[in-house]
Amino acid sequence: MGLVLELYPDEPYNDFFVDDIRVELHEIRHEFCFKLKVYTPALHKVIEVTDQRAEEILPQVRVSAGTGADIKRHGVKVVIEAPRRINIDRGIVYRKKKEQQQPAGS
């Protein structure tokens, strides 16, 4: 079973991180079709995601559209399948962890 995140077009709930690579909700076409922007160091790429098949956005990381999204709030559900060794965090959690890792006074 994959990890399911509900994403909304408004910050801070529009992204997640795969290890240190940011993946952002880029465009919503409808509940089962949306685009994600993957911010790899060398290249930013936009990937269309549907409920028809899982798309590989990064090596060993596949995503598809889930069911039951909150359409009234324009949300989508992203189903993420990846090995457990790959760290996946919601954007607000990732940024909070990074802030806590900063030495005091920097």
Where are the extended beta strands (E) located within the chain? Answer: 3-7, 15-18, 21-30, 33-39, 44-50, 55-58, 61-65, 76-81, 88-90
The total number of structural domains in the chain stands at 1
Tell me whether residue 106 is in a domain. Answer: no
Q: Is residue 7 scored above 80 in pLDDT? A: yes
The per-residue pLDDT for range 42-58, each reduced to its tens digit, is 889 999 999 999 999 99
Does a structural domain hold residue 62?
yes
- Residue 78 belongs to a domain: yes
The whole-model pTM stands at 0.89
Q: Is residue 85 part of a domain?
A: yes
Q: Which domain holds residue 88?
A: 3-101
Confidence band, pLDDT 50/70/90 cuts, at residue 105: low
